[in-house]
Amino acid sequence: MASVTSLTDSVQQQLASALTATRPEAAGADPLLRRSDRADYQANGILALAKKAKANPRELAAEVVARITTGDELIKDVEVSGPGFLNITVADRAITANLAARLADGERLGVPLKQDAGTTVVDYAQPNVAKEMHVGHLRSAVIGDALRGMLDFTGEKTIGRHHIGDWGTQFGMLIQYLFEHPGELAPAEDVDGEQAMSNLNRVYKASRALFDSDEEFKERARKRVVALQSGDKETLELWQHFVDESKVYFYSVFEKLDMEIRDEEIVGESAYNDGMPETARLLEEMGVAVRSEGALVVFFDEIRGKDDQPVPLIVQKADGGFGYAASDLTAIRNRVQDLHATTLLYVVDVRQSLHFKMVFETARRAGWLGDEVTAHNMAYGTVLGADGKPFKTRAGASVRLEDLLDEAVQRAAEVVREKARDLTEDEIRERAAQVGIGAVKYADLSTSPNRDYKFDLDQMVSLNGDTSVYLQYAYARIQSILRKAGEVRPAAHPELALHEAERALGLHLDAFGDTVFEAAAEYAPHKLAAYLYQLASLYTAFYDKCPVLKAETPAQVENRLFLCDVTARTLHRGMALLGIRTPERL
Ligand code: ARG
């Protein structure tokens, strides 16, 4: 594995050393390089420098230019423009040689691993036991999975935590019902995902009805909660049955989503049960939490609700029970002290951001979150319907996630069938799943996560515009060209002059690694999505202007096939980081 210095970094380095050579006091100054329409790059950093040195910026720029080596190696041309900008053009040879080195590196495409990698615990895809998954859980799963893919690629170590809702008073009601009606829930090993959820739904509804109508049942359910919390064996077994049955369902949904979830990373609220009394004791001893009307709570000056009353975080309820906050606080201790996390990332609905604000602040006060640990709630927005209102069925019910995914796949099947008439039914089904699920993921990921986004299937599976299908087609089209080339193999010819469209494509390909690093550091998968969309657009422009198989010389055919190949590999890798497949044919 050999990583490749990006052209941007190489140009940046050359400029920086020319600057320092001109003005030694400028050592470390940023030349402020960026891509530009006028040339390949423009550097604006000289302006600030000249101001500081009380020099004429255009003269200073000319001095710097005089120290830059131009030629075939890297910088072909540099000129002063405007008030003292530098316009820089990179040599064609450098572009081709750079891409050749990337291709030779294989899977990583020359992208280096980061030096100061830490450990990020990613809390995502956290449905609730005995409950249907909804579109909010979809966003957490899709965004979390993409963030993990990008972070892993940069060299960060990630650990997943699926903090499922598997604890709480509602289990008293469920377990008591199952205790009184044994056999209502089939053994988990005998059911598929759909049956599991329909059984759970039935038991949930029946127990709820009893709970609401029968005072004595209510009392028995309440006692059952106590039994659960004190670790009664029989009660725990029944509880486990609910968890196992739910997992069958979760796994079936994650499989549909084409997402790998590892059993050892499903660590729900219940896992922190044993540590919660200690969490409460420590907080009280340290004075971080105080008793208020029997409950143990934490107050915050700046967090106030109605009538300007302070809103506390409840660590322990007056009846002694522990809730959501206690599990999250205990989880932080575990993730920092035992998993050695340097970053805690929570991919959770924006409606919980106040909760996390209070939990993080409490953990900071307690010293469980030190300065060396970052905690961040990647608070995503709401999923809206095509009408711009929160996503509901026509009847106003919340939409079942599986129905939604099935519909996306069905729509995709129509698109696939129309485009490729020579596919078998099996092939159509396989492609439709990859296109449909890809469309759902891409629509989510191409929007900034903290914004609401519209779930509009028609738009999602459209071949035009910023959709995954458009990207998948670009990829499949390249594969088809590579197949058509037959014996002629892609090969780099750095000696060839490049067409404008080839240069634009090549420079964009060079920026892949920098884009992934930026998108990962900012938890912004939409930046990678935008990069890939632009890549496909630049490829289309190249393809329109530069004949590949019918290019003028055999060397040019090979070189253009080579550009196609690097583009395909970059598309493939980028989409894979987002959790989206790129079928070889469509
Ligand atoms: N299960 C919760 C829900 O469905 C999300 C859990 C988020 N993670 C956490 N550590 N609190 O709303």
* pLDDT tens digits, 218-258: 999 999 999 998 899 999 999 999 999 999 999 999 999 99
Q: Specify the pTM.
A: 0.95
Residue 123 beta carbon below 6 angstroms from any ligand 1 atom: yes
Ligand 1, atom 9, lies closest to the CA of 163
Domain end, chosen from 234, 262, 290, is at 262
Neighbours of 113 (CB within 10 A): 12
Q: For the chain, what is the domain count?
A: 3
Is 71 within a domain? yes
Burial group, residue 353, by CB count within 10 angstroms (0-12, 13-18, 19+): middle
pLDDT for res 318: 94
Each residue's pLDDT tens digit, 124-141: 999 999 999 988 899 999
- Contact, 151 vs 158, CB < 8 A? yes
Evaluate whether residue 96 is within a structural domain.
Answer: no
Same domain, 549 and 451: yes
* Amino acid code (one letter) for 308: D
| pLDDT band at residue 1 using 50, 70 and 90 as cut-offs | low
Is residue 380 domain-resident? no
- State the first-to-last Cα distance of the chain, in angstroms, to the nearest integer: 32
Residues 6+ apart with CB under 8 A from 121: 158, 159, 160, 161, 335, 339, 341, 343, 344, 345
Give backbone dihedrals phi and psi of 298, rounded to 5 degrees, phi first. Answer: -120, 135
Which residues constitute the domain of residue 209? 168-262
Mean per-residue pLDDT, 570-580: 98
Angle in degrees, 0-180, between the axes of helices 135-154 and 512-521, rounded to the nearest 10: 130
Residue 194 counted as domain residue: yes
pLDDT by residue (tens digit) across 374-417?
999 999 998 888 888 888 777 777 778 898 899 999 999 998 99
Q: CA angle, 362 as apex, 356 and 363 as ends, to 5°?
A: 90
558 Cβ closer than 6 Å to some ligand 1 atom: no
Residues 461 and 569 in one domain: yes
Q: What is the pLDDT of residues 461-496, one digit of tens each?
A: 888 889 999 999 999 999 999 999 999 999 999 999
- 324 alpha carbon to ligand 1 midpoint, in Å? 9
Quick one: which atom of ligand 1 is closest to the CA of 331? Answer: 10
Q: Are residues 37 and 174 in the same domain?
A: no
Helix or strand (DSSP H, E) at 17? helix 7-22
Q: Is ligand 1 within 6 A of the CB of residue 160?
A: no
Q: Which atom of ligand 1 sits closest to the CA of residue 164?
A: 1
Of the pLDDT bands very low, low, confident and very high (cuts 50, 70, 90), residue 93 is very high
Which residue among 90, 118, 152 closes a domain? 90
Residue 455 lies inside a defined structural domain of this protein: yes
CA 453 to chain centre: 15
With a 6 Å cutoff on the Cβ, whether 128 touches ligand 1 is yes
415: in domain: yes
Q: How far apart are CA 117 and CA 424, in angstroms?
A: 46
Domain check: are 466 and 556 in the same one? yes
Residue that terminates a domain, selected from 58, 90, 122: 90
CATH of the domain at 28: 3.30.1360.70
pLDDT band at 27 (very low <50, low <70, confident <90, very high): confident
161 lines ligand 1 (CB under 6 A): no
Question: CB of 348 closer than 6 A to ligand 1?
Answer: yes
Given a cut of 70, is residue 429 above it in pLDDT? yes
Estimate to the nearest angstrom the gap between the alpha carbon of 108 and the chain centroid.
19
Tell me which of 140, 267, 269, 348 to substitute to probe ligand 1's pocket, judged by most ligand atoms within 8 Å of the beta carbon: 348
Residue 494 within any structural domain of the chain:
yes
d(CA 499, CA 92): 9
Cβ proximity of 123 and 161 under 8 Å: yes
In a domain, 485, yes or no: yes
Residues 251-291 pLDDT 10s: 999 999 999 999 999 999 999 999 999 999 999 999 999 99
User: What ipTM was estimated for this complex?
Assistant: 0.99
Average pLDDT, stretch 102-118?
96
Q: Which residues contact 238 (CB under 8 A, 6 or more apart)?
A: 175, 178, 179
Distance (angstroms) between ligand 1 centre and the Cα of 163 equals: 6
Does the Cβ of 14 fall within 6 Å of ligand 1?
A: no
